[in-house]
Structures are given as structure tokens and as C-alpha cells.
Structure 1
Amino acid sequence: MSADSADPDHRTEPGFFAEAPHYHGHRERLRERFRSAGAAALSDYELMELVLFRALPRRDVKPLAKALIGTFGSFAETVHASEARLREIGGLGEAAITEIKLIAAAASRVAKGELKQRAVLSSWSSVIDYCRTAMAFADKEQFRILFLDKRNQLIADELQQVGTIDHTPVYPREIVKRALELSATAIIMVHNHPSGDPTPSSSDITMTKQIIDIAGPLGIAVHDHIIVGKNGHASLKGLKLI
């Protein structure tokens, strides 16, 4: 019996004979480099190959990985791309999309876990890391609130609003009402700029001051309003705008 007839999957896989020389042994070499040298030794497309291996076990995924990084710009932007955008990539099925989105979900869960383990204000880098992981690459504006207790421990992290590509409706009284419901004594506001530029707009500053004016008399401090984007972040407090 020939090797082809013994393995029907290999026999029927489209383009198997043409593709085999290109990725034969490549997967194990890439895994070994990841194990021995770590993620820093891999390019973005190589890391994406590792993600795709499980979902596409009998394909040379290097061209697809390169196409994803070329389309979205980086590994981070790819895993945070919407499912609708990912479906536009030829050759990327539902199983592969699930693997990609799982990476984004895991990164967000890890960052949030690190944030919950310590007082928020004493770990500002964890706050920024979490906010950027959760929101920086979203294709629509999102407005998130971190609610804190009197020890500046995280009580709740809630996505309040999702808007269009450049606008999210924010209702100051609803935010303060929610803080009172949670017995929060402080909040940190976070939203993203899908354009990538985190520079605060005049409306960002005005809205923040409105919330401060309502929250202050009720004993709720506004520690900051952070804006995140692909190109970094901005703190209204750090910029002395509040």
C-alpha cells in the first residue's frame, strides 16, 4: 500500500505535493525556537503561524500569517481585529478566527487579573497595560469606567458605551449614578480613539469636567481620564487638563 493510500487526508488535501517541501519540518522548528528563545525571537508573522497551526493542521500557514500581519499591521492589531474584518481574509475559516480571538481574550483576562491584584494607583503601568489591551485596537469608540473603593482597589470594570468610529455618547449623570450603586469612592474613565491618535479632543475635556462637577459633591473622585490608541495613550490628568 502506498503512503498516499494509507493516509487519505494527505491524499485528498489540495496542493499537498506542491506545499509539502515548503513547510515539512517547519512547524516543529518554529515551535522549538519559541520554546528555546521565547516569543521575542519570533517575528509577528511567525507568532501568528503558531496560533494558526492548531486550526489549520494540514496547510502551509506562513502565507496566510504574512497576509494577516500585512493587512492589519501587527500581531496585536490582528488578534484585536473584529471577526467581520478577519472573515474578509481569504483562506481564514471559523476555526482559525476562533483561535485568533482566543489570544485577544486571554491577553485581556491576564491584564485584568494583574490589575485586580493590587491597588490601582500604585500600579499605574498595569492600568495602562490593561486599558490598551482591552481597547486600543477596537474599530469603534468605547467608553469604559474603572470603579474603585476607598483603598483604590478595583470594584468593577464596566464598558458603558460603544459608539461609532469617532463618537461615543456619554451621559455624566448615569456614570455617577452607577458609581453610587457600587459604593465606589473614585473612578477612572477610559476610552479609545480608533484613529490611533490618543490626543484628547475638546469634547473629551468638556465631558470629563462635567463628570467631575457632578461627582465631586457626592464624594466621588475622578482620578483620571485615559485615552488609548494604537499609537500610545494620553492622560488628561498627566496633561494637566483636569
Structure 2
Amino acid sequence: MMTNLFSIFDPTTNIFNLSLNWLSTFIGLMFIPYSFWVIPNRHYIFWNFILNKLHNEFKTLLGSKSFNGSTFIFISLFSFILFNNFLGLFPYIFTSTSHLTISLSISLSLWLSFMIYGWLNNTQHMFIHMIPQGTPNILMPFMVLIETISNIIRPMTLAVRLTANMIAGHLLLTLLSSTGNNMFMFMLLFLILVQILLLILESAVAIIQSYVIAILSTLYSSEVN
């Protein structure tokens, strides 16, 4: 039962030995309405409003020392994860963000770039950041060890957070839908209502998780400046 349940996350669809499930990562633009490209329109104004809000928030988090245009990295990250999370809610579309292959690749590459830049350009700041202000001398070695471990596991926590949230909702939807064959009509209507509510919840989770990943990446970036 568990093997069949988790098999919904297996990228097994292929033609000519090409895994076509991962194409869902690149077809986000196909779901944008054609009217989006005709300026101005409601879709463009709404999306531009969201991006402006994100830009202002990321700019505040990065601080005055950040480079011009650095917020576009995190806005692009937010948009990419949001598209992939939403695509997974459609029937028969593979959820790429439910795999550590995607989420860990994103988080690890960002974290490595932050670390390399920070240690090469702001070495003293990176050392100072390991010991919080006011730490007693006897506790300094332990604080360095704790801060080092917490820093190393950051990409894994980012990846697992995104993957676990995507898997949990899809598993619950699949598990509930598999029980519909043995239900009476009135219970089936109740199940459909519950599934609709869960789908709304999953839509909210898709937005929240993409926002959380972008915000945490921005905070990790601001620490190396």
C-alpha cells in the first residue's frame, strides 16, 4: 500500500527513454494567459503588484549594502517555485518540487554561492557572526560549533521543508481519494467537499512555501554582507 501511495512521486513517464515528468519544471510559461503579454491588462498589473511588494521587502532585508538588482534573484526563485508548486496541483502533472533533486539543487547552489562570497570578501564578518555579542569566553568554542553546524544544515532544512510540505498534501489527497470506491453516495459528497477544501489548503501552501524559501534565502544572503 505504501509503495503504491508513494509511487505518485515517481518520475516514470518516458518516451524514447526520456523522463518527461521533469518537463513540468519548464512549462510554467504555458499557463500564463495570452493577455498577460498585452500591456496593460489585469493579469500584468496584478503580477507586477506582487513583484513590486516582494522587491521592496527583499530590498529591506538585504540592507543598503546590497547590489542593485540583487532582489531579482530571489523574485525569480519565488516565481519558479510557485509555478512548480501550482503545476503539481493539476491532474497528471508531475510535482518536481516534491523531490530533493530539485529543492536541494536550488538551496545548495544558493547556500554555496553565499558562503563562497562571504568567506572570500567578508572573512572577518563571517568569523564575528559565529559568536553572538555578549557570549562568555568559556562558551565561545561551543557557540562556534553550534553556529557552524546550524550554518551547514541550512540548505538541507530549506530543501526538506519544501519537499515535505509538497509530499504531505499530495499524499493526503491521494489517500482520501483512494477510499471513495467503498463509500455511499452521501459520504462520497462529503469526501468531495473535503477534497476541495484540501485543494484550497494546498494552493495556500504552494504560495506560502515559495514565499518562505525566498525570504529565508534573502536572510541568509544578508548575513554575508
State the TM bucket, normalised to the shorter chain: under 0.3
* TM-score between the two structures when normalised by the length of structure 1: 0.25
Structure number with higher helix proportion: 2
Instruction: Mark the structure with the bigger radius of gyration.
Output: 1
* TM-score between the two structures when normalised by the length of structure 2: 0.26
- Structure with greater contact order relative to length (CA < 8 Å, sep ≥ 6): 2
